[in-house]
Amino acid sequence: MSLLKTKTKEIYYSGRKTYYLDGSASSIAVSDGENNWLHSLSMFEDCITADDIRVYFRDDTANTEVEVFDFRVSNTTITGTTESSALLTPVLSITEDGDAWQLYGEIDIANTTGAVIIELIEHSFGGYRYTSLSDIVNNFMVAYIGDGKLINNVAKSDVVFHAKRGLQEFSYDVLKTVKTQEVELNLALTIPMPQDYVSYVKVSYIDSSGVKRIIHPTRLTLNPTEAIVQDNDYNYVYDNDGDTVTGSSYTEDKWRSFDTDNITGHLTTENDYYLGTDNYLESDFGRRYGLTPEHQQVNGYFTIDERTGSFAFSSDLSGKIIVIEYVSDSLGTDAEMKVHKFAEEALYKHIAFNVLANRINVPEYIVQRYKKERRAALRNAKLRLSKLNLEEMAQIMRGKGKHIKN
């Protein structure tokens, strides 16, 4: 009934588990009677596979550590050598048809000491904050559905549908599922949208100090959804299917080659400011007054090209490291389909309300009751996830009343 997926702190903090060998053949493993050595992986997550781990053999006598590759992980029930109780699954199987068997025999059966080390390939911290969507669905089926409960029966597929829709909506406004992608801008001045992209939050470039500089979208240009090819008489050109032929965009080509200093008024030297003259009337002195702040900045610009599904940048950003912060719907992969525990109750209420609202013969007062409960739980989740901190708020308020002292 425990909620911790990894059973030991060694696995959580280091991402690996060490099984020590003491020179006896049965020190950490048992035989299945077919010359295979089986190691219990019960300390790891139950759904672990061979693609999730690396296996190393360490010989303390020779002071060497070797990675092995010929192993399997399967949900096999095995029996210990001293008792008939079944070991927990999944298990690591080391067979005699590869180098791993020989290395294991040299370490474990010989009169030496060493270890078998199992290491997670992908390891991260903080997963306890979340509840997987599959657990949410299973918990809802147990707690809300059945005889004597408000919902007598409902198809699990309906619960899964409403859970996914709820996770999507929560990701936009409550969970704030913001992801970040760092890319070096190519010569074409475009970056494709991330695979699970829904909407951008902020676009920046990273300067030489590692500080992000915000890039603002521009209204000076656009990315046409169609660049229609015309003949010399300005008539549309059609293909064999009768559809218009499209080509490269004149607008995009001109914008990519445009020097944005002509917009920003960016002055690189003092001579640019005074035009190398002492004549005030012939200089640019004072002429930047009244310029539009939207355009008078040196961080560059970007547009969103819906036709190609990419971000397009101004020429002064070529070669820079671009960081795109964007919102996803948390449904891209199984690993993403999880809910912060602060919003878990809100998702239960969301599922219950939508199940009841889409059923016939449910009294309206019950639907309205769960609608109010959903709204209240959603408000609580927003407050919890807002991370309001009195000390941080006090620090901000102190900053509002500061004054410069010598």
pLDDT value at position 11?
76
Task: Indicate if 101 and 208 belong to the same structural domain.
Answer: no
Does 380 fall in a domain? Answer: yes
Is 301's pLDDT higher than 70? yes
Cβ neighbours, 10 Å, residue 12: 16
Residues 37 and 158 in one domain: no
Q: Which residue has the higher pLDDT, 24 or 232?
A: 232
Domain of 152, in residue numbers: 129-175+334-395
Q: How confident is the model at residue 268 (pLDDT cuts 50, 70, 90)?
A: low
Q: Residue 122, class by beta-carbon neighbours within 10 Å (0-12 exposed, 13-18 middle, 19+ buried)? A: exposed
pLDDT in tens, 148-164: 888 888 999 999 999 99
* 162 and 253 inside one domain: no
Let me know whether 16 and 114 are in one domain: yes
Q: What is the pLDDT of residue 354?
A: 93
Q: If you average pLDDT over residues 325-343, what whole number do you get?
A: 86
pLDDT at 140: 92
Residue 282 lies in a domain: no
Angle in degrees, 0-180, between the axes of helices 133-144 and 344-357, rounded to the nearest 10: 60
Residue 269 domain flag: no
Please compute the mean of the pLDDT values over residues 138-145 and round it to a whole number. Answer: 91
Confidence at 190, pLDDT banded by 50, 70, 90: very high
166 shares its domain with 239 = no
Name the more confident of 272 and 250.
Answer: 250
Mean pLDDT within 346-362: 92
Q: In this structure, are 19 and 31 located in the same domain?
A: yes
Any domain includes 151:
yes
Q: CB under 8 Å, gap of 24 or more: what pairs does 99-102 form?
A: 99/68, 99/69, 99/70, 100/55, 100/57, 100/68, 100/69, 100/70, 100/71, 101/35, 101/37, 101/70
Q: 171 and 184 share a domain?
A: no
**Would residue 283 count as lying in a domain?**
no
Average pLDDT of every residue of the chain:
77
400 belongs to a structural domain: no
Contact residues for 3 (Cβ-Cβ < 8 A; gap 6+): 128
- Reported as a pLDDT band with limits 50, 70 and 90, residue 287 is low
**pLDDT over 80 at 58, yes or no:** no
What value does the mean pLDDT take over residues 346-358? 93
d(CA 346, CA 7): 29
Give the three-state DSSP class for 310: strand
Residue 101, number of CB atoms within 10 A of its CB = 18
Give pLDDT, residue 3: 65
Q: Is residue 227 part of a domain?
A: yes
Instruction: Give tens-digit pLDDT for 106-116.
Output: 554 454 567 77
Contact 187, 313 (CB under 8 A): no
pLDDT the model gives residue 377: 93
pLDDT at residue 31 in the model = 42
The verdict on 212 and 101 lying in the same domain is: no
Assess contact for 378 and 346: CB atoms under 8 A.
yes
Q: Domain for residue 87, yes or no?
A: yes
For residues 162 and 233, membership in a common domain is answered with: no
pLDDT tens digits, one per residue of 381-404:
998 888 777 887 887 777 766 655
DSSP 185-237: --TT-EEEPPTT--EEEEEEEE-TTS-EEEEEE-SS----S--B-B-TTSPBP
Q: Are residues 154 and 209 in the same domain?
A: no
Question: Tokens standing for 156?
Answer: 């699990």
**If DSSP codes are grouped into helix, strand and coil, which group holds residue 66?**
strand
Least confident of 14-23, 32-41, 297-306: 32-41
In the prediction, which pLDDT does 28 show? 45
Per mean pLDDT, which range of 108-122, 239-253, 344-358, 386-400 is the poorest?
A: 108-122
Task: Look up residue 197 and give its amino acid.
Answer: Y
pLDDT of residue 280: 46
Residues 147 and 213 in one domain: no
Residue 380's pLDDT band, with cuts at 50, 70 and 90, is very high
Pair (225, 323) in one structural domain: yes
65-69, 331-335, 394-398, range with the lowest pLDDT: 65-69
Higher pLDDT among residues 121 and 361, named by residue? 361
Q: How many domains would you assign to the chain? A: 3
